[in-house]
């Protein structure tokens, strides 16, 4: 990954560069002490993947800089500032900032955020590569259906993986089950509806266990898979609620919370986290079928863009 840092504090620039390079996150190839020294063409020429930019700088601040580079610069942006104004933070998100690092700079926070943004870049590049492969398949003079299907299945899994990362459950055991469900729906051309979940879990269980599996084994795998998926969904609810509690204007919270969950459940979870409750007397209600359907629609939309 190639980085560019814009901050009027030389000590901050030095600290960020040291963290990035000491941890092997990439290389800092440029710095600026105010936004007037940053432009989209220059960032693109340097092949910058991630721009870290201070919100408040003399001559030209971070927000004005983002307005000017937004039409040209396609890399990711991480805003840095000690300002906690929700209006300014919300504007930074609307202008393309992926995350927000608060000052004074905390090494662990910087590492966590840069790693998340870097992972998103890698996943997006994978999707683009698959798009190219898919287009190549579709433009063959005599493309086989098997090639088309294989390319589409791989595409939907990568799109799904990116979504799971945004939802905070990429590493959950139920994440693989959800990706398998996306692939199953893609294979069966379920464009705007989801079949009965029992049917999906049964077919996936039979596929995993093979044709010689007993009915009991299939039922056991179905139940285990469903439990893994539900745990992953609960973890996603917890993740989005935490994001919203930290910053109500966080783009992931705004974009995903009300799509995947009933907002009453989200608010309930936010209240539990705020009050320091480690265990709710009753788990919030979730709609597994709705979650799966939204996940599939979002994955389809993502890989068609």
Task: Name, in order, each residue with C-beta under 8 angstroms of 260's C-beta and a sequence gap of 6 or more.
Answer: 167, 236, 240, 290, 291, 294, 295
pLDDT at 158: 85
Residue with tokens 């919100």: 55
Domains of the chain: 2-119 (3.40.50.2300), 144-304 (no CATH)
pLDDT at 177: 94
pLDDT at 186: 84
Residue with tokens 């990568």: 158
Task: Name, in order, each residue with C-beta under 8 angstroms of 46's C-beta and a sequence gap of 6 or more.
Answer: 2, 4, 29, 30
Band of residue 216 on the pLDDT scale cut at 50, 70, 90: very high
The length of the chain in residues reads 305
pLDDT at 67: 87
pLDDT single digits (tens) 13-35:
999 999 999 999 999 999 999 88
CA distance linking residue 283 with residue 233, whole number of Å? 12
Band of residue 145 on the pLDDT scale cut at 50, 70, 90: very low
Instruction: Calculate the average pLDDT of the chain.
Output: 82
- Do 129 and 140 contact (CB within 8 A), yes or no? no
Average pLDDT over residues 129-138: 60
Residue with tokens 């940053």: 38
- Laid out side by side, the sheet with 50-54 consists of 27-32, 2-6, 50-54, 76-81, 97-102
3-class state of residue 291 by DSSP? helix
Better pLDDT: 263 or 30: 30
3-class state of residue 172 by DSSP? coil
């Amino acid at each position: 990954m190639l980085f560019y840092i814009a901050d009027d504090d030389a000590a901050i620039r030095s600290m960020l560069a040291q963290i990035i390079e000491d941890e092997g996150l990439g290389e800092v190839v440029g710095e600026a002490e105010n936004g007037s020294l940053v432009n989209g063409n220059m960032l693109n020429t340097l092949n910058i993947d991630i721009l870290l930019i201070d919100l408040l700088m003399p001559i030209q601040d971070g927000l004005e800089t983002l307005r000017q580079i937004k039409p040209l610069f396609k890399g990711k942006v991480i805003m840095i500032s000690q300002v906690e104004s929700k209006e300014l933070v919300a504007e930074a998100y609307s202008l393309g900032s992926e995350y927000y690092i608060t000052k004074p700079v905390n090494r662990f926070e910087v590492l966590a955020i840069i790693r998340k943004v870097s992972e998103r870049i890698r996943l997006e590049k994978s999707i683009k590569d698959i798009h190219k492969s898919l287009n190549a398949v579709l433009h063959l003079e005599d493309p086989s259906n098997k090639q088309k299907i294989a390319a589409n299945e791989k595409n939907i899994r990568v799109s799904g993986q990116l979504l799971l990362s945004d939802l905070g459950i990429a590493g959950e055991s139920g994440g693989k089950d959800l990706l398998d469900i996306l692939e199953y729906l893609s294979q069966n051309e379920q464009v705007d509806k989801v079949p009965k979940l029992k049917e999906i879990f049964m077919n996936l269980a039979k596929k995993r266990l093979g044709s010689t599996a007993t009915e009991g084994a299939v039922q056991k795998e179905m139940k285990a898979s469903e439990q893994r998926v539900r745990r992953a969904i609960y973890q996603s609810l917890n993740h989005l609620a935490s994001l919203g509690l930290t910053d109500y204007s966080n783009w992931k919270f705004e974009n995903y919370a009300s799509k995947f969950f009933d907002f009453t459940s989200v608010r309930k979870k936010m209240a539990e986290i705020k009050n320091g409750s480690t265990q709710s007397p009753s788990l919030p209600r979730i709609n597994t079928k709705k979650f799966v359907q939204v996940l599939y629609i979002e994955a389809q939309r993502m890989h068609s863009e």
